[in-house]
Structure 1
Amino acid sequence: MSGASTEIAVAPVTPLRIIILGATSAIAEATARLWAPGGARILLAGRNEARLNEIASDLKARGAAEAIDWPLDCASANASAELGKMVDRLGGLDILLLAYGVLGEQAELERDPAAAARLITTNFSSAAAWCLAATAVLEKQGAGTLLVIGSVAGDRGRRSNFIYGATKGGLALLVEGIAHKLAPLGARAVIIKPGFVDTPMTAAIANKGPLWAKPEAIAASIVRAGEKGGPEIYAPGFWRGIMIVIRNLPVAIFNKINI
């Protein structure tokens, strides 16, 4: 009895189609480097065209099937119109990573209402517009993931950074609501909450201690969030426990702590 050979059809692996807003940030670049070896097609949006070109070349060398530099001021762009062009360029969207934002200096922000307004526009208003535009795309597709970099600073208002913290707290609430909306449709949204990260944005802060993480550690958490989990992750994970304690400190004790 002769046996007939059976061929098993293997579906082709489709490269991830990824958009990164604020692609020149240290965390965004580190994350893109983790996606590149899998042959991802990555669109890099940011203001510094020269840096975008450098990052795109590096990602191609690391295995990215495509790395598209897309010069853009994300904070002032028409999010819906611009995202439509980006998605058309990629032929769809698997992951959008929102990675831009500014830290600001609390005392200066309190003295200068215009500076505070600019920070709020960048960190919340413009970011919210991108999140809502991405939600419309993911809802229509019934698939894909929105990843947004927030901060543990948004978990409880503190005298040292409550204006910045307010923008991140509002953004977290927005993303959690989007996650709830998308869940029945097969798409996801995740807010990533890093603690202290050693990046150029925090270069002026001295005496970095054991709670500080490198961008590469945050990037690994972001990549995992792109695959599963959510709607909220802390990066590194030990920050979840720290923030549970901080959120639940009685006001009488909290007000005596300079954090």
Structure 2
Amino acid sequence: MKDAFGTPQSLLVLGGTSEIALATARRLIARRTRTVWLAGRPSPALESAAEELRALGADVRTAAFDALDPGSHETVLGKVFAEGDIDLVLLAFGVLGDQAHDERDPAAAVRVAQTNYTGAVSAGLLCAQALQAQGHGSLVVLSSVAAERARRANFIYGSSKAGLDAFAQGLGDALYGTGVHVMVVRPGFVRSRMTAGLPRAPLATTPEAVAAAVEAGLRRRAETVWVPGALRVVMSALRHAPRPLFRRLPV
């Protein structure tokens, strides 16, 4: 259960090597979170992340999780929740893909969609059921401003995030009143390994800034969080721009 200050005592990260997720975990551990599950594909990076968090004082466990294998999700997540209540699930896995390459290789484009959307639907529903069964908890879903309107430069990634975003909002409505809180986080361009080598975008942010926004959103039980906050206005304008104009914008 959350402590008297509203800090989750236990955290499950789906996408255990995500820079945003790990920055969030570090902040929460500093605030009293003591049990952390890092779920992801077994790798040296996953073990290194676990060791880093253990050094901060948390009891950290790992679980083998593959977004592209939804048939295994029920077993994997069932084992995690069987170990005890989870106060916070952070759904943080996803891939950017390579737009130019993926347009020429439909199978690669499908992998982006399956990772970012299909895998998230499977894991999200299973975690929601488990949280509802225990009667409390939060599910934080990392979406993207790319979900707001598909752009020529990254419509494969953007469309997968649009599906994820709509799913998470609907799931939040379905769980309203059950004691389970769903929060959608929409960061802009995040300077991280995933975006290394890409031109820096306006209003770029960092994993640490997103983590701070996640923590603040949890405290006020927000349903949608933009990082940085100015993107709410920017994306509203872009979403409503006439299509002929939108096509000419350098976005």
SS where residue 160 of structure 1 aligns? helix
Indicate the larger mover: 222-231 or 194-203.
222-231
Report how many residues are paired: 246
Asked if residue 100 in structure 1 is aligned to residue 72 in structure 2, the reply is: no
Question: 1:236 & 1:145 partners in 2: Cα distance?
Answer: 22
1:31 pairs with one of 21, 24, 27: 24
2:51 is matched by which residue type in structure 1? S
Question: 2:227 & 2:236 partners in 1: Cα distance?
Answer: 14
RMSD of equivalent CA atoms: 2.0
The change in CA–CA distance for 1:15 and 1:154 in structure 2 (over 3 A counts) is closer
Contact 2:24–2:212 (8 Å) recurs in 1: yes
Q: Which runs of no fewer than 5 residues in structure 2 stay unpaired?
A: none
Q: How far did 1:45 drift?
A: 1.1
1:87 pairs with one of 81, 85, 88: 81
2:158 pairs with one of 162, 165, 183: 165
Indicate the larger mover: 176-185 or 31-40.
31-40
Q: How far did 1:35 drift?
A: 1.3
Indicate the larger mover: 21-30 or 50-59.
50-59
Asked if residue 196 in structure 1 is aligned to residue 185 in structure 2, the reply is: no
Structure 2 residue aligned with 1:211: 203
Structure 2 residue aligned with 1:150: 143
Question: 1:255 & 1:210 partners in 2: Cα distance?
Answer: 18
SS where residue 43 of structure 1 aligns? strand
Which deviations, in whole Å up to 9, do the C-alpha atoms of 1:9-54 show, x marking residues without a partner? x98x996111001111111111111111214200011224322222
- TM-score, normalised on structure 2? 0.91
- TM-score, normalised on structure 1? 0.89
Q: Percent identity?
A: 38
2:35 pairs with one of 28, 36, 41: 41
SS where residue 61 of structure 2 aligns? strand
Q: How far did 1:107 drift?
A: 1.6
Which deviations, in whole Å up to 9, do the C-alpha atoms of 1:146-199 show, x marking residues without a partner? 111010001011111111111101111111111111111111111111000000
Question: 1:239 & 1:192 partners in 2: Cα distance?
Answer: 12
Q: Which runs of no fewer than 5 residues in structure 1 stay unpaired?
A: 1-9
Contact 2:172–2:181 (8 Å) recurs in 1: yes
Asked if residue 228 in structure 1 is aligned to residue 241 in structure 2, the reply is: no
The change in CA–CA distance for 1:102 and 1:15 in structure 2 (over 3 A counts) is closer
2:112 is matched by which residue type in structure 1? L
1:185 is matched by which residue type in structure 2? T
Which deviations, in whole Å up to 9, do the C-alpha atoms of 1:70-122 show, x marking residues without a partner? 23323325222211111112x01111101111001112111111111111110
SS where residue 152 of structure 2 aligns? coil
Structure 2 residue aligned with 1:61: 55
Q: How far did 1:243 drift?
A: 0.5
Structure 2 residue aligned with 1:5: none
The change in CA–CA distance for 1:81 and 1:116 in structure 2 (over 3 A counts) is same
Q: How far did 1:251 drift?
A: 1.9
Structure 2 residue aligned with 1:244: 236
Structure 2 residue aligned with 1:4: none
Question: 1:62 & 1:139 partners in 2: Cα distance?
Answer: 30
